[in-house]
Chains A and B, each alone.
Chain A
């Protein structure tokens, strides 16, 4: 049996806790209402639509798993899956590598000019990420122009006849990947911050053990910033699977999209808003979500083995 004083104290605590929860919920209610109305409700609706024939201008009719089975026999679906997978497989590792190398050079730990000028260089690397995607795509279209483009002009100086980058299907993917490196600044900033957080004594110990700069980077820096790398790789993978705006601008001609520059989200959008196949587009969206979740789970599982979370 508890005494009345103790019951009264618990009652006060309970009321205070309930009040706290209510206050907290009130403060987050704009987000909850917004997320409910604009994220969770549309998600639930799109899940339902994915099992229907829904031409957007007419009411949806239940069609079971038809849309999902249709995906299997759709050649355009196969093409966009292949293109997107190839883009993700090439761009994510390359982007990560490029960002790490740049971050290593700009982390401010080195001696000499780069070290002193590092803040300026960091700003220069970051600035391109502030340029709107469509504007960047327009600039790159001119850089990649086969006849007048700066890239081919530079190649011509060394006797190489550059390709028609954004027209030739063999060069569409390389041009997309190269253009994606333009936005490396954000990752570089995160890596630089993580690198600056690595305790100096670890490098001193490594030097005493006879490690050179490369081995220090591989055995000290990389393990210590691995949580940041994991975060970036997951973000990049999700972004690569959802790539949309840049190829829509760069590889679209009056007579249609260059098939080599046709990606998953573009086809999803076309089905939803151009062809009016909202049911089919919803099925595509759910497949995409499941794939993204699976990839994230795989990366997180790999992260458990490869990522180093302890602090010195």
Chain B
């Protein structure tokens, strides 16, 4: 009996001792922050999505800011799935001071009062909307207010393989301007082996497939009207666009496309099908020039506005403007200091340096001659033309955009597999998506009526 009691006491002592030793060990030898924060400075946490060369370029801007003054110190943290993690951190009341999001996040975040309006903050920090390229301003504003700054901006264009054009007997200086010409070029560029397997295609809508919804804009329509809050998925333009897409699958054969697509490497690798010559024309942003310069510097590529059904005039090409934005989340501890950092990133020299490293245009209206002359993307002028175009467009700005897009993508996949007729599928999707939009609107009205939530007119600083 006595022995057993003694054993129990020893065990407790050992357990408590082990816990204490563990805690002491953790305190003494545990993980340490790698960044030394200078004393007396406000610490600003900045979450950004970029990695590799894109992240390195942004980190250099952060370092310059930290060296340029002694009031604040920005801690740069790379965050994957940044939209989801930002959402959770804001909801949890513990967000960083600055977040680098995507353009399509601005409207839903603004509607939910998750980010601070910059109407007051930005001018105090010396920023003016007039300093930005016209198309870029659209991204920064929503509901009549200013919500975001743009750290890098891109517009989407047609990138094509000039060597493949020559191989197919096409003039590489005369890229297609209409959808019909694109189809002809695609047919000329098509190559199969003796078994009939695809070796090269001119164009494939789902490569890389990031913007499955944008074809309607190149057929003279759009999929959402922001003013009325109406989805326009069953519009004749969108249905024609989807029929056009399905036509490629019918011509090439679904099974052949499936097998061919499986031979494509990941986008960020030298096995990217555009770089390997398997797909001769793709719809892409300016950043692809970075891949080309890194993996295949002698790759002969051309850039042009993506064709439209009716063609376009050189001064008003059609193209999506897709940007990366900087926002100050609700609950940020130091919004004024965060704005000061954002204003630093928006300086002409900083935007040009970052844009050069990302192979993108600068978001500002004014750019230096040197920036244009030394730019690593040979098609940079095309991207600027789209920025300035009155027919440029931004991703649909609705609170339910993410779900809208996912539902759209699912239906596009079914159309791609020739399982559904575009008119019928788009009609059904129209009903479904409109009910999502209406439901979100009703909930927002109810919420505003009950005094809850921030809303577009809500949170400011």
Q: Would you give the shortest CB distance from A48 to chain B, in whole angstroms? A: 16
Q: Would you give the shortest CB distance from A24 to chain B, in whole angstroms? A: 13
Tally of contacts, chain A with chain B, CB under 8 A: 98
Closest partner residue, chain B, to A162 (CB atom): B259
List A contacts of B267 (CB < 8 A).
254
Complex: A254 Cα to B114 Cα, angstroms: 27
Main secondary structure of the interface of A (DSSP, over half): loop
* Cβ-defined contact, B262 with A57, below 8 A: no
Binds B, one of A125-133, A230-238, A270-278, A295-303: A270-278
Complex: A253 Cα to B410 Cα, angstroms: 11
* Cβ-defined contact, A56 with B87, below 8 A: yes
* Cβ-defined contact, B412 with A255, below 8 A: yes
Binds B, one of A10-18, A99-107, A142-150, A212-220: A142-150
Q: With A146-B258, A146-B262 known to touch, is A255 a contact of B447 (CB < 8 Å)? A: no
Check if A228 is an interface residue, CB within 8 A of chain B: no
Contact of B258 among A57, A75, A168, A270 (CB under 8 A): A168
* Cβ-defined contact, B87 with A61, below 8 A: no
Check if B407 is an interface residue, CB within 8 A of chain A: yes
Q: With A75-B432, A167-B262, A274-B402 known to touch, is A259 a contact of B210 (CB < 8 Å)? A: no
Closest partner residue, chain A, to B114 (CB atom): A57
Complex: A169 Cα to B91 Cα, angstroms: 37
Q: With A148-B263, A254-B209, A256-B406 known to touch, is A58 a contact of B417 (CB < 8 Å)? A: no
Please tell me the size bucket of the interface on A. 20 to 34
**Listed residue (A169, A262, A274) with the most chain B CB atoms within 10 angstroms of its CB:** A274
Check if A186 is an interface residue, CB within 8 A of chain B: no
List B contacts of A58 (CB < 8 A).
112-113, 447, 452-454
* Cβ-defined contact, B209 with A273, below 8 A: no
* Cβ-defined contact, B262 with A147, below 8 A: yes
- Which of A35-69 touch B at CB < 8 Å? 53, 55-59, 61
Q: Would you give the shortest CB distance from A77 to chain B, in whole angstroms? A: 12
Contact digits for A267-307, partner B, Cβ 8 Å, 1 yes 0 no: 00010011110000000000000000000000000000000
Check if A29 is an interface residue, CB within 8 A of chain B: no
Check if A177 is an interface residue, CB within 8 A of chain B: no
Check if A258 is an interface residue, CB within 8 A of chain B: yes
Contact of A55 among B208, B258, B443 (CB under 8 A): B443
Check if A257 is an interface residue, CB within 8 A of chain B: yes
Q: Would you give the shortest CB distance from A50 to chain B, in whole angstroms? A: 16
* Cβ-defined contact, A76 with B209, below 8 A: no
Check if A181 is an interface residue, CB within 8 A of chain B: no
Complex: A61 Cα to B452 Cα, angstroms: 9
Check if B427 is an interface residue, CB within 8 A of chain A: no
Check if B90 is an interface residue, CB within 8 A of chain A: yes
List B contacts of A55 (CB < 8 A).
112, 443
Contact of B263 among A59, A147, A256, A259 (CB under 8 A): A147
List B contacts of A57 (CB < 8 A).
87, 90-91, 109, 112-114, 330, 453-454
Q: With A56-B87, A255-B210 known to touch, is A275 a contact of B413 (CB < 8 Å)? A: no
Complex: A273 Cα to B112 Cα, angstroms: 14
Check if B34 is an interface residue, CB within 8 A of chain A: no
Check if A164 is an interface residue, CB within 8 A of chain B: yes
* Cβ-defined contact, B447 with A276, below 8 A: no
List A contacts of B400 (CB < 8 A).
275
List B contacts of A59 (CB < 8 A).
452-453
Complex: A256 Cα to B414 Cα, angstroms: 12
Contact of A259 among B90, B209, B413 (CB under 8 A): B413
Q: Would you give the shortest CB distance from B368 to chain A, in whole angstroms? A: 34
Contact of B209 among A75, A255, A275 (CB under 8 A): A255
Complex: A111 Cα to B401 Cα, angstroms: 64
Please report A residues at the B interface, Cβ cutoff 8 Å: 53, 55-59, 61, 75-76, 145-149, 164, 167-169, 253-259, 262, 270, 273-276
Nearest 6 pairs of A and B residues by beta carbon: A256-B409, A255-B209, A146-B262, A58-B453, A164-B258, A147-B263
Interchain residue pairs with CB less than 8 A apart (30): A53-B443, A53-B446, A53-B447, A56-B91, A57-B87, A57-B330, A57-B454, A58-B447, A58-B453, A61-B452, A76-B410, A146-B258, A146-B259, A147-B260, A147-B263, A164-B262, A254-B210, A254-B267, A256-B212, A256-B405, A256-B412, A257-B406, A259-B413, A273-B87, A273-B88, A274-B83, A274-B402, A274-B403, A274-B406, A275-B400
